[in-house]
Amino acid sequence: MDLLTAGIILVGMIAGIVIAAALVSKIMSAQYEQLYEMLKASPTQEPTSHQKPISTPNNNKEKRQQEVDEKELLKKLREVIDAKVSNVMEEAKQKKERLIMLLDVARGYTLGYVTAEEYNMFLIKVLNELEEFKRLWLAKFPSSKDKEHLELLIKYVAATKLPITLKTKNKNTVELSPEEALIRITNSINSAIEILDKLMESRNENPAVTPLEVKLTNEVEKLQKKLKGLENQLEELRTL
């Protein structure tokens, strides 16, 4: 093969390589343009489910009105509670009077004027009132000791339900007579009244409710004042 033929073949090969490179470059350029167009067309914002709600004047107004309504409701609730618990001592004295009344009904049962069913019906009313009073007292004085005393008070009163029975040594049950039942009822109610008095005294309240109790309390206060005066006079004499 002469030099002319070899030159023609070499030129043909170079031309083929150049043409192939041009085709490859054109194809790659077209692919890059398609990819660029796809990226431009894709959304750049987050899905609507992640977007924050738009605040409008109406929404803000409704929110402020709701806050005002809640404050007014809480204010009224606080006023009602304060008014209720402020009379807790008067409620305590009323419950003491109810216990004394319960004891009178028990005496009526012993004398035959009241049946056991009638006594038990009145007892249930008193127990419900005492449960309500316990909640009221603890709302005013949230004390675990007071809670224990009040629960013991209610337990004493509940123990007076008729008929009152005792268990013998043979584990038999014996129903007490009306006279014996009255003794047990009196002891239980007196124990309940004593607890109620101590609760009131622990809050610096005079527990006297009956005319006799009020009279005795007044006499004791007069004697205490006289005793205090005598002590002062004796102290003055000692300094002379």
Q: Whole-prediction pTM value?
A: 0.60
- Position 152 scores a pLDDT of 97
Here the tokens at position 201 are: 């005294």
217-221: list long-range contacts, CB under 8 Å, 24+ apart. Answer: none
- Position 208 scores a pLDDT of 73
Question: Which sequence spans correspond to the domains of the chain?
Answer: 71-218
**CA–CA distance, 126 with 154 (Å, rounded to integer):** 9
- Position 44 scores a pLDDT of 47
Q: Per residue of the chain (240 residues), give pLDDT as tens.
A: 565 666 666 666 666 665 665 665 666 566 556 655 665 555 444 445 455 556 566 666 676 667 667 888 887 777 777 777 778 999 999 999 999 999 999 999 999 999 999 999 999 999 999 999 999 999 999 999 999 999 999 999 999 999 999 888 888 889 999 999 999 999 999 999 999 999 999 998 887 776 655 565 666 666 667 677 767 777 777 776
Residues 6+ apart with CB under 8 A from 131: 154
- Position 170 scores a pLDDT of 83
**CA–CA distance, 111 with 118 (Å, rounded to integer):** 14
Residues 6+ apart with CB under 8 A from 178: 109, 110, 112
- Position 169 scores a pLDDT of 82
Architecture of domain 71-218: Up-down Bundle (1.20)
**CA–CA distance, 192 with 136 (Å, rounded to integer):** 17
Here the tokens at position 23 are: 């085709």
